[in-house]
Structure 1
Amino acid sequence: MRTMDADVVVIGGGATGAGVVRDVAMRGYSAVLLDKADLGQGTTGRYHGLLHSGGRYVVSDPESATECAEENEIVTRIHADAVEKTGGLFVVTPDDPMEFSDQWTEGATKAKVPWTEISVAEALRREPRLNPGLKRAFAVQDGTVDGWQMVWGAAHSAEDHGAQVLTYTEVTEIIREGDQVTAVVAHDLKKDEQVRISTRFVINTAGPWAGRIADLVGCHDVEVVPGRGIMIAMNHRLVNTVVNRCIYPADGDILVPVHTVSIIGTTDVKADDPQRLAVPRNEVQQMLDSGEALIPGFRDSRAVHAWAGARPLFKDKRVAATDTRHMSRGMSILDHGTRDGVNGIVSIIGGKLTTYRLMAKNVVDVMCEQLGDDRPCTTDKEAVPGSTEGHTYVITHRLHDNEVARAKHLKTTPNKTPSRAAIDDQIICECELMSRKMLTDLLAEQPDSTFDDLRRQLRLGMGPCQGGFCSMRATGVALEEGAVDVERATGLLRLFLKNRWIGLWPILYGEQVRQTALDDWIFQGTFDVEHLPVPESEVEL
């Protein structure tokens, strides 16, 4: 058994966990973050990409609305490379009740969410595809954020401050001496070894799995309800602004432009297991119908991927919520010392991706108070690595960088054998403009990553072809670079394709059937990928 020591162990590598380990490290504590999978593989990576202005909750949850409005500015500043300042619209469609818009403006003003009413003509000028029958429109400060880039930015910042981040390391035991937590035991799934971390404090940020972590320490009354929501990515940006229906939060009432696609969402249904989330076909149809209310002809666009995420909603027994849609999105901090008689552990549940930094600050403040330390939070003062120049994301940034590199190469080495620089600048994924060097650099940094791990950081295979062309190129590059052997390369490719196909089955209609059939012919017909040698077990991947 490998042994380690840390002042604080953070369990859960989503946005909240990454924010907590960064906050803890910046306050001078030694810290270790543990996650049973990759960073951002759970709820954080399974949402629609919205950086909230707060407008969505001004009527249903005004406290959360105010928090979102305040944190929007901070996240944009410290995570500039992950944020696109799209702006947002709340619109009253022909099918929506006019009277709610008055409640919305009153709520937005009270919640201190900035808004401006604009004419319908101005809304249609900004977004020509919108329903021409709109009755009213409001401009807000919504944006979009790449959740994975945000999480990795926070994680790298934490590492710069001395923290350790251990992925694919599943917590199996939390050890107590009497009423005090003293250590965490975890299983390194890739090295197949046990790790014991002696610690002063544990912060449970496991999202939908937070109740299971609390069970390990004997706190059995932590009920976390997974609120399953599905989302669908369409094959291009139907809008360049976040567009919301001005109604009480409902299914399919928002369309978000993220990178090269548009994402519509979302449903809200109680799930039994956050590990197994269905994407029912009837809910897919519901999303497509909802898209038509915002963008006439929405169904004519090609849906390229569907997925589901689980909101971690804390079941407060004092509130009689009838369904997950009406459970609060606010954060809940559980002090297990006063609540359950177990010291040295707190849990944080709920909240929004937009408020992840505030959630981290609040829960670490609780820890500092319990430890008797006076160490203020400074996470709002320092940008994460990659965002220090303050330039927010623009959709053309990779195109510009790659075209500059190509032009420079052609000017300096005309009609010659391609240089190493030219090879590095080769585009492996046209949809997301991922270069060979971006892939090889990350492979060198994280040699035991799966292609899905790389996808979460590089967006490999997330465009219209869904990996049909770029995945085999990436496999060839990994093999050529010596990062993997033949069997592992095939195993990684098959696992990647399997996970891409999970999001294709629910949307096989129209032009997407043609694209999927082409991909199938490539991999089954040309490569016979199902019959190539692979590692004996997926653990080796």
Structure 2
Amino acid sequence: MRTTVLVIGGGATGVGTARDLALRGVDVTLVERGALAGGTTGRSHGVLHSGARYAETDPDDAAACLAENRTLREVAAGCLDETGGYFLQLDGDDPAYFERKRAACADLGMETTTLDGDALRERVPEASHAVERALAVPDAVISPSRLIVANALDARAAGATIHTHAPVESMTVADSRVQRVAVGGAVDATVTVDAVVNAAGPWAERCAALADVSVPMRPTRGAMVAVENPGVDAVLNRCRPPADGDIVVPASGAAVLGTTSVTVDDPDDFERSDDEIDRIVAECGAMCPAVTAAPTVRTYWGVRPLYAPDEAGNDGRAISRGFALLDHADEGVEGLVTVVGGKLTTYRRMAEATADVVCDRLGVDAACRTADRPLPGNEDPARLDATDAFDVDAPAG
């Protein structure tokens, strides 16, 4: 079996990269060890970030989020719910932090509106009476499952081949170049390649090790609780430094409460703590009291693929949410590229940057088309729910 580029990982970045490459005319095959979206993508809280969350701490990443937020509203409308969002200052929260966030958003060129507590409750009646003021920002909600299906449909239409339940078992490096990849499961074949993209998310370090190269990771788990939605129709963020239980997201008929950040050694085997769930519900209840009494619909944990080349102590929240693109030719393995970190909001940008590097190495002269090419489903979003063309595992919705 042969392909020009093998993409490893069926999350948003991997499928987005396969689509981008296929649209440039590259022969590409994607393999995923389980179902599409079965890792970080399908277990996110589903926020399309405006960049406001990171505006004062990481303005470059915030600017990337804002740019992709605007792009995806145009090209992925069938996957989005333009809910808007608010950062809430509660009684006792630091008003200076609110001012820093507002100023940082203005520096990004983001349009915001400041509301007092009463004005916010007119818009979001479920919001707590402890809310003193709120900053309205252009957050939205994105469906991970629809996004994955839309990208996979377009990738396949452009010529990409997608295999689920096909774990990578080994890589063969010879003459300082990755040449073959053994794939098990549904594929059960050795694939001859010109290039490999490691988009394995929290498993990227393990994947890279198959070629004897290093990708230092600090994966962190995050718990999410989906409850019956008491009527929240906008993203609610606590306006304080990121902490447990500081976001409420209306999604798939529920309200998703999140999240935590705990470093894990193994993205497949980690503790799932009831204490984290209780803490999330209590903290989110400070913003929206009705969620504390709402019946639980589902609970799930995701693992963030944080790239950590430098020590950041035990605080995973201190690690940048930006992405890293690593060309392992620097370590003596040509043809192998790793993309890691980032977030769902910036998946398209990550895929474009990865495809740019791969095409440059392959001598392919073709521009990215994904910034202005609408994804399937924009005119008929239900099409993305009804398709049985792909196996998708996305409890996030």
The answer to whether the 8 Å contact 1:232/1:264 transfers is: yes
Cα drift, residue 374 of structure 1: 2.4
SS at match of 1:284: helix
Match of 1:185, SS state, is strand
8 Å contact from structure 1 (residues 44, 147) kept in 2: yes
The aligned counterpart of 1:536 is none
CA-to-aligned-CA distance 1:6-62 (integer Å, 9 cap, x gap) = 111100000000110001101110000000000000000011111111111112222
Count of paired positions: 396
The answer to whether residue 171 in structure 2 is matched with residue 174 in structure 1 is yes
1:222-264 Cα distance to aligned partner (Å, 9 max, x none)? 1111110001001124410001111111111010000200001
In structure 1, C-alpha distance between the alignment counterparts of 2:173 and 2:2, rounded to whole Å: 15
Cα separation, 2, equivalents of 1:321 and 1:201: 35
State how far apart, in whole Å, the 2-side matches of 1:6 and 1:119 are: 58
For 2:95 and 2:290, locate their aligned partners in 1 and report how far apart those are by CA, in whole Å: 24
Q: Are residue 211 (structure 1) and residue 205 (structure 2) matched? A: yes
| Counterpart pick for 2:29 among 28, 32, 35 | 32
Q: Does 1:343 align with 2:343?
A: no
Pair 1:289 & 2:282 matched:
yes
Provide the C-alpha distance between the structure 1 equivalents of 2:146 and 2:92, rounded to a whole number of angstroms.
37
Please name the residue that 1:352 is paired with. Answer: 343
Q: Which amino acid aligns with 2:200?
A: A
CA distance in 1, matches of 2:314, 2:301: 22
Q: Which amino acid aligns with 2:347?
A: Y
Residue equivalent to 1:373 = 364
Contact 2:9 2:30 in 1 (8 A): yes
State the alpha-carbon separation in 1 of the partners of residues 14 and 230 from structure 2: 31
Question: Are 1:41 and 2:38 counterparts?
Answer: yes
Deviation at 1:121, TM superposition (A): 2.3
Contact 2:221–2:304 at 8 Å: present in 1 too?
yes
Structure-2 residue corresponding to 1:156? 153
State the shift of 1:214 in Å. Answer: 0.5
1:45-444 superposed matches below 5 A: 45-189=42-186, 194-219=188-213, 221-317=214-310, 320-338=312-330, 340-387=331-378, 389=379, 438=386, 442=388
**AA in 1 matched with 2:64:** E
Percent of residue pairs bearing the same amino acid type = 35
Cα shift readout 1:365-384 (whole Å, capped 9, x = no counterpart): 11222223322111112112
Q: Displacement, 1:195?
A: 1.3
Distance 2:137 2:77 in 1: 19
CA contact (8 A) 2:221 2:263 kept: yes
TM-score by length of 1: 0.70
Query: Residue type matched to 1:333 in 2?
Result: L
The unaligned stretches of length 5 or more in structure 1 are 399-433, 464-541
Partner SS, residue 131 of structure 2: coil
Q: Which has the higher contact order (CA 8 A, sep 6+)?
A: 2
Please give the alpha-carbon distance, in whole angstroms, between the structure 2 residues aligned to 1:237 and 1:146. Answer: 20
- The CA distance in 1 between the partners of 2:204 and 2:110, in whole Å, is 31
**Any residues of structure 2 matched to 1:437-452 within 5 Å, and which?**
438=386, 442=388, 445=389
| Equivalent pair of 1:66/1:113 in contact (CA under 8 Å) | no
Query: Which string of whole-angstrom CA distances, capped at 9 and with x for unpartnered residues, describes residues 71-126 of structure 1?
Result: 01212222211110001111101131111011101211223333221232221111
Secondary structure in structure 1 of the residue aligned to 2:277: helix
Q: Is contact 2:312–2:318 with CA below 8 Å preserved after alignment?
A: no
Is the CA contact 1:277–1:309 (under 8 Å) kept in the aligned structure 2?
A: no
1:301 and 1:90 mapped to 2: Cα distance?
A: 22
Contact 2:230 2:294 in 1 (8 A): no
In structure 1, the residue corresponding to 2:53 is in which secondary structure?
helix
Is the Cα contact below 8 Å between 1:25 and 1:163 reproduced in 2? yes
Give me the whole-angstrom Cα distance separating, in 2, the residues matched to 1:292 and 1:88.
17
Q: 2:126 touches 2:230 (CA, 8 Å); kept in 1?
A: no
What code does the residue aligned with 1:96 have? D
> In angstroms, what is the RMSD of aligned CA positions?
2.0
Q: In 1, distance between residues paired with 2:191 and 2:372?
A: 30
Post-superposition CA distance 1:399-436 (Å, at most 9, x none): xxxxxxxxxxxxxxxxxxxxxxxxxxxxxxxxxxx9xx
How many Å separate the matches in 2 of 1:352 and 1:298?
Answer: 26
Q: What is the deviation of 1:322?
A: 4.3
Contact 1:63–1:111 (Cα < 8 Å) also in 2? no
Is 1:95–1:293's contact at 8 Å kept on the other side of the alignment? no
CA contact (8 A) 1:228 1:309 kept: yes
Aligned partners of 1:43 and 1:207 also within 8 Å: yes
Kindly indicate whether the alpha-carbon contact (under 8 Å) linking 1:188 and 1:194 is maintained by their aligned counterparts in 2: yes
**SS in structure 2 at match of 1:196:** strand
Larger Rg: 1
Equivalent-residue separation in structure 1 for 2:264 and 2:56 (angstroms): 25
Give the aligned residue type for 1:53: S
**Structure 2 contact 230–290 (Cα < 8 Å) conserved:** no
Distance 2:308 2:289 in 1: 38
Three-state SS of the structure 2 residue aligned to 1:172 is strand
For 1:277 and 1:144, how far apart are their aligned partners in 2? 28
Tell me the secondary structure at the aligned position of residue 9 of structure 1.
strand
Structure 1 residues 341-362: Cα deviation after superposition (integer angstroms, max 9, x where no partner)? 1100110110010000000011
**Cα separation, 1, equivalents of 2:142 and 2:224:** 16
Q: Which moved more, 1:62-71 or 1:291-300?
A: 291-300
- Greater helix proportion: 1
Q: Secondary structure at the match of 1:313?
A: coil
Taking structure 2 as the reference length, what is the TM-score of the superposition? 0.95
CA contact (8 A) 1:181 1:345 kept: yes
